[in-house]
Amino acid sequence: MSAGSSERAGAAAVPAYEVRRLSFRYGDRRRPGSGGSPDWVLNGLDFSIRQGEIFGVIGPNGSGKSSLLKALAGLVEPQEGAIRLFGAPFDATPRDTIARQVAYMPQDLSCDFPFSVLDTVLMGRFPYRQRGMWSVLGWERETDRAVVERAMAQAGVTQLATCEVGRLSAGERQRVLLARALAQEPRVLLLDEPTAHLDLQHQLDVGRILKLVHGTLGMTVVLVSHDINLASQYCDRILLMKGGRRLCLGSPTTVIIRSNLQEVYGCEVLIDAHPETGLPRVSLPRQDRVQAGALSQF
């Protein structure tokens, strides 16, 4: 494995992530030798994510895509396999170090306590906190505040700084989470279902977020989504998963094809080209036609 990674490092940059034979299941943390049983959520995944690409993960419910994202964020400990982050083995890397390189943006933020937007964004500086006996409260330094101010400006939440997070709209909360992620100054941004429960206008904001972090800041982005069209429009490469396994990995035009989606989702889909980008676009067929088709097969 190390030989392979050094070869690639010679050619270009090291990949942002290298995932090798990754298997994970909830429950017993270490029970080696029981691979292949049906309750594995991730089952021998193998792939790498290049630096600076937008990498999409799609698949049906229960295909393990959210668990994969958690594994990439270091939130779950896989029982088997290995992850390398910019060439460094994940297990041996302290959590703070991971947090300085990888920002995980959850779907939403729910909190029963009146934290302000500024409080929340300042939390993004936690991996850079001062240590030692006398920094009891862990106040941020001037440099931290500069980073936070910039992150809030980039995410467009400067005006909301003193607002209570719990009272914002879903779209505003997402921008607060983005600001917190940017305050981490990461090299990789992990997005969990970025368009879930957002209206069209805010889905467009997700596009702007991707353009900002990928285009302007040059981050690597990994996004997990139910929204195949979102993945198709923005991702450089897409991983299609089923049952914790990799079914297909490649550019949107090679992954989003009828046979793949029908195999994974088990239903008929229509695929045409997006009117502006020409990238594949997925629609569901009319209900009566599906039934007619299904009946005609008998």
Partner 1 sequence: MILPQASVPVREPESPVAAVPVTDKAHEGVHAWGGLRVRRWRVVIGLLALATCGVAVICLRFGAQPLTLSEFWSALFWMPAAKEDVARVIIWEIRFPRILMGLFVGASLAVTGAALQALVRNPLADPYVLGVSSGAALGATTGLAFGLGSLAGGIGVPLCAFVGGACAMTLVYGIAASQGRLPVQTLLLAGVIVNALCSALMMFANSIVNPASLYRVVLWLMGTLGAPSVPVLIGLGACAVGATLFLLRQSQPLNLIAVGEEAAASLGVETRRVQRTVFFVSAFLTGAVVSVSGMIGFVGMVVPHVVRILFGADHRVLLPASALGGGMLLMAADTIARTVVSPEEIPVGVITALVGGPFFIYLLMTRKYRFIV
Instruction: Tell me the two tokens of residue 233.
Output: 């429009």
Least Å from the CB of residue 298 to partner 1: 42
Q: Which is closer to partner 1, CB of 38 or CB of 94?
A: 94
Which residue, among 30, 36, 11, 21, has the nearest Cα to 84 in the 3D structure? 21
Query: DSSP 3-state assignment of 40?
Result: coil
Least Å from the CB of residue 224 to partner 1: 14
Least Å from the CB of residue 244 to partner 1: 20
Which amino acid is residue 174, in one-letter code? Q
Q: Which is closer to partner 1, CB of 178 or CB of 264?
A: 178
Nearest-angstrom CA–CA distance, 227 and 194: 9
Least Å from the CB of residue 88 to partner 1: 16
Q: Which is closer to partner 1, CB of 161 or CB of 170?
A: 161
Least Å from the CB of residue 25 to partner 1: 14
Question: By the 8 A CB rule, do 154 and 69 touch?
Answer: no
Q: Which is closer to partner 1, CB of 29 or CB of 286?
A: 29
Least Å from the CB of residue 4 to partner 1: 28
At residue 254, φ and ψ (nearest 5 deg) are -90, -25
Least Å from the CB of residue 111 to partner 1: 5
Least Å from the CB of residue 260 to partner 1: 22
Q: Which is closer to partner 1, CB of 237 or CB of 242?
A: 237
Q: Which is closer to partner 1, CB of 2 or CB of 216?
A: 216
Instruction: Tell me the two tokens of residue 248.
Output: 């297909």
Could you tell me which residues come within 8 angstroms of residue 16 by beta carbon, excluding any fewer than 6 positions away?
48, 49, 50, 51, 52, 53, 85, 86, 187, 188, 220
Nearest-angstrom CA–CA distance, 252 and 235: 7
Q: Which is closer to partner 1, CB of 115 or CB of 245?
A: 115
Q: Which is closer to partner 1, CB of 62 or CB of 215?
A: 215
* C-beta neighbour count of 234 within 10 angstroms: 22
**Where would I find the H helices in the chain?**
2-11, 65-73, 95-101, 117-122, 142-155, 170-183, 200-210, 228-234, 252-255, 258-265, 287-297
Nearest-angstrom CA–CA distance, 292 and 263: 20
Binding site for partner 1 (CB under 8 A): 29, 70, 73-75, 95-96, 98-100, 102-104, 106, 109-116, 118-120, 123-124, 126-127, 129, 136-140, 142, 145-146, 148-150, 153-156, 161, 164-167, 175, 178, 184, 200-201, 204-205, 207-212, 215-216, 233-234, 276-277, 279
